[in-house]
Amino acid sequence: MPGKSAAPAPATIRLAYRFTGIVQGVGFRPFLYRLARERSLAGFVQNRTDGVIAEVEGSPEAVRRFGEDALGTLPPLADVTSVTSREVIPLGDPDFRIAPSADAGRAEVRLSPDVAPCPACLAEMDDPEDRRYRYPFINCTDCGPRLTIIRDIPYDRENTSMACFPLCPSCRREYEDPLDRRFHAEPNACTTCGPTLRLLDGEGNPVASGSEIERAIDLLKDGRILAVKGLGGFHLGVDGKNEEAVARLRLRKYREEKPLAILVRDLMEARRLADLRPEEERLLTSPERPIVLVRKHPDIPLAPSVAPGMATLGIMLPSTPLQHLLLKGDFPALVMTSGNQTDEPICIGNREALARLRGIADFFLVHDRDILVRCDDSIAMVAAGGPAVQRRARGYAPRAVALRRRYPSVLALGPQVKATVCIIREDAAFLSPHIGDLETPQARDFHEESVALVRRITESDPDRIACDLHPGYHTSRIAAGLTDRQVYRVQHHHAHIVSCLAENRAGGPVIGLAMDGTGYGVDGQAWGGEFLVATETDFTRAGHLKPFSLPGGEKAIREPWRTAVSLLREAFGSSWPEAARRAGILPEDTSTDLLERIMDSGLAGLKTTSLGRVFDGVSALLGPRYRVSFEGQAAMELEALAGSAEGRLLPFTIGEDNGTYVLDLFPAVRALADLLPWGESPTALAAAFHRTLAVSFTALADRIRETTGLNTAALSGGCFQNRRLLEETTASLEGAGFEVLRHRLAPANDGGIALGQAVIAAAQALNEAEQK
């Protein structure tokens, strides 16, 4: 009996693809449209709240390869995190089309960060024959504002601050043409239909009409302070070579010595100011356009007060068309610092800026496109072989951090300083833009805005809340008031280490080195030089720096000579006054007897293990510096002092206290104090201190390895923003056979704490569910 013949393969099939990730507002639909037409496929592509849906119909081979082909040639700003497909009934569509957006329930779409102008837009802006010649709001699907103009999702024009700017016929043709670079570019506009500039004086009165940019350039050249409305807020700008103008900006903003960021036209100008490595040039020219910390040249043509006492400059390239146009004034550099008062968030509204920056700015260059999300400039550096973000905001937020597994949803409220908030949704963590220190009512309002933002963009309202263990933090008090939510209180340094684990998609256990200024310990003491054996759910304190007192408590942070006295007392015992006098660190009329009584009594003499305070004390010892005007100043100056000098190894010891290792750095402090009067250069001693830290950290980590068998070390905490410390510690640990995890995506400082809090709470919640 003859066998049955096989059924013929279908001539046409239809698959429904769903793409999630950053797939809206980045030219993804027109990209799929062109891809489908090139392959003679029919169907449609559509924006939905759960992703981008593409139903494609045609030959089986072409249809089945469609998803793979799409992932191979993505648009530059797209970031696809998942692709699924299912077979559906062929409909016989005559062609491929772009369908209107639709609401499909819970959002699976991730918003793109704001993006610096692309080369095509810049070429048009510089072309006198182009209709957008010198237009300061030029953009396309490959660049321009995203997060900072969004009111709701999906990312469509009516859900942005561009909704009040109806498209002119020319812009509408571009917007509706799938083959045009501006197809559904939501901020698309031109001089006919888009936002416009206004130049105002310090009282808010119009100054120029039709020549705002040229007049603004003249004002900057005349030494005036100009408030400039950018993507995520206002900047305060002055001519970077005008010392009088820079000094006046510092005086008015009450910013005594903290380094100011520099805006330059291009890489050629940046090279004139700094010694750039290839990795730093790539970071400077990346679409994120962060402020990049680079080693400055000597005798650069900048005002001395731009970055006094620092070996580095914070340089950025233009992130907006308006900044490009301002730099047509042939400035070697413009100072561009955040438009705010000290400890307050960046201004975003025109009226807000006129009120809050009155008395600081002489003039205001504003526009009528509303900023809906505050987003300051990001800060990054290149260290230990790659980029490391120090302040995560414009260009990076709200891009999600991919996690190693799915977790229950958690809202983490973050720390007290350098605050961010974070929501975990399944296998992704969404960090808010940098908020800052929560010391003022305005900053606390911004924190509330940021919580609302991450809830909105994740379309979630978690019933699990994570906060710091410290009961006095603003965020801890917020959590305490949420009686209808489950609250997880997370130790500060555990959160540091887990933030590093999270971005490296690791769960532990690891040997965590958490080195920072201070954090509330489980024993109620001020921790800050910690060696933890940590997982994403728990930790043990395996080691720490030997504690010392802070004479005057918080006052010692502002006056590092006090910490130096405490270090010398631990190093020299009762003879510390003589050592302090030899080092010249005691201010005139200082009573050593009073200091002794304070340190003996414990009155205002808080004990700490903080490495950040050790840096302060050693900086004062080698400086000396009696007081600082901003957090981390003494440590930054000590790093600058070390430069690239080779350092000798100073003595240290490792002991034990109730089964916990104790790293004693006071022998190193004694050696520094002894060597300094004998003519050893402060530069060589600063380098020696850094080397000794790296070697001693490795020695203690090795002790922990011997007892635990762990061979992976994770580095976190603000002290690892010190490039030299990070690189020397990494090299020392790797030289001893350790695998080293470090930060790349989230800040090592407290800006990454919310990520660690969220993962710890989510992992603990998983454990609780498994135990039920």
Mean pLDDT in residue range 23-40: 90
| Cβ-proximal residues to 575 (8 Å cutoff; 6+ apart), any chain | none
Reply yes or no on whether the pLDDT at 436 is more than 70. Answer: yes
Query: How many helices (DSSP H) and strands (DSSP E) are in the chain?
Result: 23, 30
Q: Using CA atoms, how far apart are residues 656 and 539, in angstroms rounded to an integer?
A: 18
Mean pLDDT in residue range 142-157: 90
Residue 703 region by backbone torsions, left for phi larger than 0, else alpha for psi between -120 and 50, else beta: alpha
Reply yes or no on whether the pLDDT at 186 is more than 80. Answer: yes
* pLDDT at 110 (0 to 100): 79
Q: Using CA atoms, how far apart are residues 396 and 378, in angstroms rounded to an integer?
A: 8
DSSP state of 603: T
Reply yes or no on whether the pLDDT at 624 is more than 80. Answer: no
* pLDDT at 210 (0 to 100): 77
Reply yes or no on whether the pLDDT at 599 is more than 90. Answer: no
- Place 345 in a pLDDT band, splitting at 50, 70 and 90: very high
Mean pLDDT in residue range 570-592: 87
Reply yes or no on whether the pLDDT at 537 is more than 80. Answer: yes
* pLDDT at 105 (0 to 100): 61
Contact 537, 552 (CB under 8 A): no
Mean pLDDT in residue range 599-611: 77
Q: Residue 410: in which H helix or E strand, if any?
A: strand 401-412
* pLDDT at 772 (0 to 100): 76
Q: pLDDT: is 770 or 674 the higher one?
A: 674
Reply yes or no on whether the pLDDT at 147 is more than 70. Answer: yes
What rounded mean pLDDT belongs to the chain?
93
Reply yes or no on whether the pLDDT at 642 is more than 90. Answer: yes
- Place 515 in a pLDDT band, splitting at 50, 70 and 90: very high
Mean pLDDT in residue range 423-439: 96
* pLDDT at 603 (0 to 100): 55
Give me the residue label for tokens 């990076």: 396
Contact 450, 398 (CB under 8 A): no
Give me the residues paired with residue 232 across strands.
none
Reply yes or no on whether the pLDDT at 604 is more than 60. Answer: no
Q: Using CA atoms, how far apart are residues 748 and 743, in angstroms rounded to an integer?
A: 6
Contact 182, 175 (CB under 8 A): yes
The string of pLDDT tens digits covering residues 278-336 is 999 999 999 999 999 999 998 899 999 999 989 999 999 999 999 999 999 989 999 99
Reply yes or no on whether the pLDDT at 583 is more than 50. Answer: yes
Reply yes or no on whether the pLDDT at 1 is more than 50. Answer: no
Helix, strand, coil percentages, rounded to 5, for the chain: 35, 25, 40
Helices (H), 149-266: 169-176, 212-221, 243-253
* pLDDT at 108 (0 to 100): 64
